[in-house]
């Protein structure tokens, strides 16, 4: 969805690399729904401080596919964003 998402493996956090490998292994790709577009628009309009990236999208896709529990989704999302903050 965003143009500034990391694309090169060297730019990815350790959690992002783990999530990407899991999605590849499971054959899962993120496909946005109308609800995702609506939520992104509402978040942007409200000035949400956290902008989802490609890793966040893959985590959602893995959860929707039943490959992650909601608890795993939360833990991996928190780890990913913690790692992003440490790089800044």
Per-residue pLDDT tens digits for 53-79: 999 999 999 999 999 999 999 999 999
79 occurs within a structural domain: yes
47 occurs within a structural domain: yes
**For 1-17, what is each residue's pLDDT tens digit?**
444 444 445 578 999 99
66 occurs within a structural domain: yes
Domain count, the chain: 1
6 occurs within a structural domain: no
Q: Is pTM beyond 0.75 here?
A: yes
Domain of 79, in residue numbers: 12-87
76 occurs within a structural domain: yes
DSSP string, 4-50: T---SGGGS-HHHHHHHHHHHHHT------HHHHHHHHHHHHTT-S-
52 occurs within a structural domain: yes
Apex 46 CA angle, 53 and 13, nearest 5: 20
7 occurs within a structural domain: no
71 occurs within a structural domain: yes
């Amino acid at each position: 969805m965003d143009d500034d998402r990391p694309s090169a493996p060297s730019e990815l956090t350790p959690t992002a690399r783990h999530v990407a490998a899991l999605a590849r292994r499971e054959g899962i790709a993120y496909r946005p729904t109308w609800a995702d577009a609506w939520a992104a628009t509402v978040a942007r309009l409200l000035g949400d401080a956290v902008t989802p990236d490609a890793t966040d999208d893959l985590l959602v896709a893995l959860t929707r596919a039943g490959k992650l529990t909601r608890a795993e989704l939360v833990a991996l999302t928190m780890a990913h964003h913690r790692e992003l903050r440490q790089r800044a």
